[in-house]
Amino acid sequence: MSELEKEIHKRRTFAIISHPDAGKTTLTEKLLLFGGAIHVAGAVKSNKIKKTATSDWMEIEKQRGISVATSVMGFEYDGYKINILDTPGHQDFAEDTYRTLTAVDSVIIVVDSAKGVEAQTRKLMEVCRMRHTPVMIFVNKMDRDGLDPFELLDELEQELQISVCPLSWPIDSGQRFKGVYNIYKEKLDLYTPNKQKITESIEFKDINSPDLEKHIGDALALKLRDDIELINGVYSDLDLSEYLKGQVAPVFFGSALNNFGVKELLDCFVKIAPSPRPIEAIEREVSPEEDAFTGFIFKIHANMDPNHRSCIAFVKICSGKFERNVNYKHVRLNRQLKFSSPTAFMAQKKETVDEAYAGDIIGLPDTGNFKIGDTLTSGEELHFKGLPSFSPEMFKYIENADPMKSKQLQKGIDQLMDEGVAQLFTNQFNGRKIIGTVGQLQFEVIQYRLLHEYGAQCRWETINLYKACWIESDNIDQLNDFKKRKSQYMAVDKEGRDVFLADSNYVLMMAQQDFKDIRFHFTSEF
């Protein structure tokens, strides 16, 4: 096995996804704790201990207690190099999450034991299913009263349309929560509520031994044996190949806040989760073990450091090894670029890296060279696919509230749109700028960031639109006729492509019926 192959097989790159409030950021933080990346739970070591999660660092996230942007964090654990992408759970930022899922090899879904599967989780699972991404499930908040574990497993199977395989099993829940039995390692993990300490675990090969009663009492021991017998009867043993195809999901139970059940999840995860996998490009399939470097930009983030006006482009390395100060080809611009300060992340803490391997995610300083979906290679013409923008569902005119600051506003809008925060359309009829988003909260984030990062004030004006769709046609006459008739509703996007802004479902259906030669697209990838 070559040095390159060894490095690649050590890599585990995954995203944590869930509905808001299921405890995703807390789980991320506990995983970092095991990796020694942070030292006190709930604290980033600094001159004074700040009580905010490491992965939420934008001002607005701290105020609202939600994750807005995807954070990237890397750490070493047990000989493996782990890269976590913590994604926003809030549905208004779903697009950021969809894109992140293109950059990971597997996913951990966090489910709240009381609420079960929620809408946002269902949607994200569809994206995983489309890409056959392997999934593990962590049922969180077992120290609170929740649904019966068997009911939960049924719900997971129905709602997420995936078979499940419990690898740990809770012993009671809520106030009476005693711990979990680790089926995967045949151990008993006893629970003591403490946010800072790791739990004691006891080897337990034979669940029928009378020692079990000593630890958890007669009634619970009896119930646990019955439950395990039922599990063995109903669920088949974990089949790794099925898991890697994304057809079966291992399930763990625990409480992330109290650091319980997290280590069991992590220990199993590093052993069975896939190392970087081959990725489809338009030209061919790219295997991670190839010597030549390739990678794509899946996210651009402005102003990670408020003191410097900088943009960072996040690159997922698909194959080979990336080296600092080496020339790489930017396929879309057909230019050679060299990077003197590529960075790796520990939430907001960045450090310069000299090399990185397939599966890693690095940040490249961006002075306006990159767009989402761009490919970097050692020289080959490659285009990676699968980074769509979805058709927005909410629209507002954006107006300048301070005429003295029009330059700052323009720059701010450009950078935020490059980041993929929302989409910008320019109305062909009156030249006004329209921002389209997936959710209401994005308008607030844009307004807040324009003011605090660019010193520009904007105000929103409502506009009544139903959907934006990209249009194209081989019949030029019909296209021109359509554009003339609908001139008030025609716009162009940032790339200069034609977009039709339909003001109602009826209008859109009629347009599709009357203009047979025009193709209407609801994602930007066509």
- Tell me how long the chain is: 526
Q: Please, which residues have CB within 8 angstroms of residue 271's CB and are 6 or more apart in sequence?
A: none
**Which CATH superfamily hosts domain 394-521?**
Peptide chain release factor 3, domain III (3.30.70.3280)
Rg (CA), the chain: 25
Confidence (pTM)? 0.75
CATH code for the structural domain at 14-71+91-272: 3.40.50.300
> What is the model's pLDDT at position 47?
31
pLDDT for the residue numbered 39 = 45
Determine the pLDDT at residue 50: 41
- Please report the pLDDT score of residue 389 as a whole number: 63
Fold agreement (279-377, 394-521)? no
Residue 205 vs residues 251, 392, 457: alpha-carbon distances, Å: 20, 54, 65
User: What pLDDT, on a 0 to 100 scale, did the predictor assign at position 480?
Assistant: 92
Nearest Cα to Cα of residue 96 among 123, 70, 71, 115: 70
Stated as kind and residue range, the H or E segment containing 414 is helix 406-418
- Quick one: pLDDT at residue 63? 55
Q: How far apart are CA 377 and CA 439, in angstroms?
A: 35
- Alpha-carbon distance 506 to 502, whole Å? 9
pLDDT of res. 95: 64
Per-residue burial over 399-426, b = 16 or more CB atoms within 10 Å of its CB, e = otherwise: ebeeeebeebbebbbebbbbbbbbbbbb
Residue matched to tokens 């807390």: 26
Q: What is the pLDDT along the chain (526 residues), one digit of tens a residue?
A: 788 888 888 889 888 888 777 777 788 878 877 766 554 444 333 333 344 455 554 555 555 544 444 467 788 888 888 888 877 655 555 566 777 778 888 999 999 888 888 877 887 787 788 778 899 999 988 888 888 888 988 998 898 888 988 888 888 777 777 778 777 777 777 776 655 555 566 666 666 666 777 777 778 878 878 888 888 888 888 888 888 888 899 999 888 888 788 888 888 888 888 888 888 888 888 888 888 999 988 887 765 555 555 677 888 899 888 988 899 999 888 889 888 888 876 544 667 888 888 888 888 887 778 887 888 988 888 887 756 566 777 899 999 988 888 899 998 888 888 777 788 999 988 899 999 887 777 888 888 888 888 889 999 998 888 888 889 999 999 999 999 999 899 999 888 889 999 988 899 999 999 998 999 887 766 4
Report how far residue 445's alpha carbon sits from residue 378's, in angstroms, rounded to the nearest whole number: 37
Count Cβ neighbours within 10 Å for each residue of 138-160 and write b for 16 or more, e otherwise. Answer: bbbbbbeebbebeebbeebeebb
- List 523's β-bridge partners, or say none: 390
Q: In 3-state terms, the chain is what percent helix, strand and coil (to 5)?
A: 30, 30, 40
Q: Nearest Cα to 410, choosing from 440, 372, 450, 462?
A: 450
The pLDDT, as a whole number, for residue 394 is 86
Dihedral sign for Cα 263, 264, 268, 274, please.
negative
Can you give the residue ranges of every domain in the chain?
14-71+91-272, 279-377, 394-521
What is the reported pLDDT for 45?
A: 33
The structural architecture, per CATH, of the domain 279-377 is 3-Layer(aba) Sandwich (3.40)
pLDDT at 69 (0 to 100): 47
Dist CA 483 CA 262 (whole Å): 56
